[in-house]
Structure formats: C-alpha cells, structure tokens
Structure 1
C-alpha cells in the first residue's frame, strides 16, 4: 500500500509542476504592456507612433531597409499592446505580436511576411504610407495606408491630420 501512496505523491508533484509552468508563462509579458481588448473595455484610446508615417519602406523588402532603422525599436502604440491586427484596404489582415509590446519592427515584419514573395510589379501600392486608428470602425486594429512611391521620407506626425479629416466629414 505504501507504494501506491508514493505513486500518488509523484503524480501530485507533477501536476503542481504543470501549474507552476503555466503561471510562469502568463507573467512573461513586460510590465505596462496591455491587451488591446482590455483597452477597448476600459475605453483607453491608443496613439500610433508618429515615426510610422512616411517611412519610405517598401513592403516586400526587409524591415531593416527602412530609411531610419532607429525607429524599429519604437513601440507601435501608446500604451504598448501584446498584439494588434493590421487591416489593408482590400480586406487582408495581418497580426503583429510581441509579449514585450509590439514595436514598429514587429508590425513591419508581419507585413513583410505577407509580401516578401511578391515582385515589385505585382504590388500596385508597394510603399507603407502609415497606419491609422479609427475606433469607430474597429478599436482593436489599425488601418494600413499604402502609396505608389516612397514619398517624402522622415519626420512623421501625419497620423493626427488623418483624424482631423475624419472629423470634417
């Protein structure tokens, strides 16, 4: 009978170990990084990093080819989120993810994964113009804006103008 009891202890300790692993995994998120669905419930507005506007980045090329590589480490949104959907005008949607908070690089990499096999002449609008957050359409995703050419590369701040245009309508 004592053999049965020791077997149970082994099983109990194994189960306890599984619970510990689950707890550890759940806390691997960096502090301050939010779930976008929670932000929607709480009504917390998100801001898109102005560095995403006018990057001059071609979507079928690596994110490292962006004009200013220092922007890649910048958080895509404020507050930072674990994942966010990026919605293209024709219905394509890609998801950028990072437990430490989605950076501009994470977003560009998610887009690049979708377009890397496309030839330049297959893309009607090959350049990323920027992102737009429209909570009236969808709180949990960003619209992706594209352009035919790289446009003026640099600066940013274009995100605010788009919201103004929306309010005028």
Structure 2
C-alpha cells in the first residue's frame, strides 16, 4: 500500500501568505519610541471622558454601562502602545493596538491583569480615571479608588431589608 504524495502547487492554500488588513491605519499614528523622540514635543492628551471613569477592575468590560466610550481612541496623537502606571503599587500595564490604542484596549489590558483577583485582594478595586504627568508624557497615570459610595457601577441598591 503506497500513499500518493503530492506537492503543493503555487496556487495551493498551503503556500499562501498572510495578507495585511484592508483597514487603513489611523493618520498620525506613532509608536511610543517615535512619540518620545519627537523634536517638536506634542503634548499627549487623553480623550474626553478619561478623567472620570468608575469601573470595577475585576469585572468584564462588557459590564461597563457606557459602551460607546470603547470605540474612541485613548490618546491624541494616537499611539500604538500606552503604558499605564499604577503609582500606588508601582505596577505598569501596557495596552497595545497597531491601529491606535482605544479605551477598549485599555480596559481589556487592566481586566486581563485583575480578572482572577477577588474583591478583597484589591485594596482599591475601582478605576477612577486617567491623567498624564507633565514630566513623563509617554505614560498615562491610573487613578484608583473605592468607587462612588462603595457601590458598583451600573447597579442600583434595592431599598429595604
């Protein structure tokens, strides 16, 4: 019993190359190194809404009530990667997207780090917002807190006992 062995022809799908995405890249997209090496320093600005967020970091981003924020770019100018610094713990998390980092990428990166942590493991479980330090423009500083009145976002307390 002999098996027929055939070679892959040039038109065979076995020899096909991966094609690049048909979606165009965002205009002005920079890598972190390109941003830091700019001669005429452009200030890194975070998108509107980045200063006030109340999201529990160990819950899935799909549970965040304001889903329209996820489609927006996180920074101006758009960057391929953003380092998120947690000054309370010294932790650094990197959010990446070759077409420009969006809020979805940031939330996903934070969630990926915290998804297996219980509520009592996080001293301050809520993401309060982001800001940029004037001395270190290549990083976004993360503000965390105990949340609004300690209640989870998007859920209302039921009255009565």
| Cα deviation digits, residues 81-119 of structure 1 (max 9, x gap) | 000100111111110000110001100110001100011
| Cα deviation digits, residues 95-145 of structure 1 (max 9, x gap) | 000011000110011000110001111111111111111131x22211110
Please state which structure has a larger fraction of its residues in helix.
1
Matches within 5 A, 1:33-72: 33-42=29-38, 43-72=41-70
Other-structure match for 1:148: 146
Q: Is the 8 A contact 2:26 2:78 kept in 1?
A: no
Please state which structure has a larger fraction of its residues in strand.
2
Unaligned runs of at least 5 residues, structure 1: 1-19, 154-169
**Distance in 1 between the 2:128 and 2:90 partners?**
17
CA-CA distance at 1:55 after TM superposition? 2.2
Other-structure match for 1:96: 95
User: When the two structures are aligned, how many residues end up with a matched partner?
Assistant: 130
**Distance in 2 between the 1:59 and 1:73 partners?**
19
Other-structure match for 2:13: none
Unaligned runs of at least 5 residues, structure 2: 1-16, 154-161
**Distance in 1 between the 2:37 and 2:54 partners?**
35
Other-structure match for 1:77: 75
> Over aligned residue pairs, what C-alpha RMSD do you find?
2.5
TM-score (norm 1): 0.69
**Distance in 1 between the 2:49 and 2:61 partners?**
14
Other-structure match for 1:133: 132
Other-structure match for 1:13: none
